[in-house]
Amino acid sequence: MSTTALSSFAIDLACRCGAARLRVAGEPVAQLYCHCDDCRAAHAAAYVAAAIYPAAAVTAHGGALAATVVRATPRMRCAACATHLFSELAAPGLRSVNAFLLPAGAFRPQIHVQCQHAVLPVRDALPHFKGFPPGFGGTDERVAW
Ligand SMILES: [Zn+2]
Ligand SMILES: [Zn+2]
């Protein structure tokens, strides 16, 4: 029963200009802040907010998308306004959706990852993993902040 409920739950997301549309189905497997150098370069930001979904749960359904690689991670942007939509994670079968596209209140961050690369440490009550946590092929090692 819960599987049916999850698969029928979907949110439609749009880029900043409205041309590119995404649909995400079900709950994210994780919501996090990433401090890696790849995300920082791709977003021109100190860190990014991301909602991680199974790849099959993230589908484009409108507008032209542009595939880009800034450093190593394949990413998709709106071809018209260049809003970052999602990236393909090194862990197979996962997509990292730009959490700024989520409806208000839907982003509920649980962890910080790749804190070893941080240029702007965020001192909050969430766990601060040095790299990726165990569930994403990393370790439980944390940073001091
Ligand atoms: Zn756009
Ligand atoms: Zn990252």
* Nearby residues of 144 by Cβ (< 8 Å), 6 or more positions away: none
Q: Report the percent of the chain where pLDDT is more than 90.
A: 86
Q: For position 4, what pLDDT does the model report?
A: 47
Whether residue 8 is predicted with pLDDT greater than 80 in this model: the reply is: no
Among the bound ligands, name the one nearest to the CA of residue 76.
1
Type of residue found at 144: A
Q: How far apart are the CA of 102 and the centre of ligand 1, in A? A: 15
Q: What DSSP state is assigned to residue 103?
A: P
CA distances from 113 to 14, 38, 77, 83 (A): 26, 12, 22, 22
pLDDT digits (tens, 9 = 90+) for 126-145: 999 999 999 888 999 999 98
Q: Are 88 and 95 in contact (CB under 8 A)?
A: yes
Q: For position 1, what pLDDT does the model report?
A: 41
Q: Are 58 and 97 in contact (CB under 8 A)?
A: yes
Among the bound ligands, name the one nearest to the CA of residue 85.
1
Among 45, 1, 47, 54, CA closest to 26 = 54
Q: How far apart are the CA of 140 and the centre of ligand 1, in A? A: 37
**Window from 3-17, 34-48, 57-71, 75-89 with minimum mean pLDDT:** 3-17
Query: pTM (2 decimals)?
Result: 0.90
Q: How far apart are the CA of 77 and the centre of ligand 2, in A? A: 16
CATH architecture of 10-136: Alpha-Beta Complex (3.90)
Among 55, 60, 104, CA closest to 83 = 60
Q: How far apart are the CA of 4 and the centre of ligand 2, in A? A: 31
Q: Are 8 and 88 in contact (CB under 8 A)?
A: no
pLDDT digits (tens, 9 = 90+) for 69-94: 999 999 999 999 999 999 998 767 89
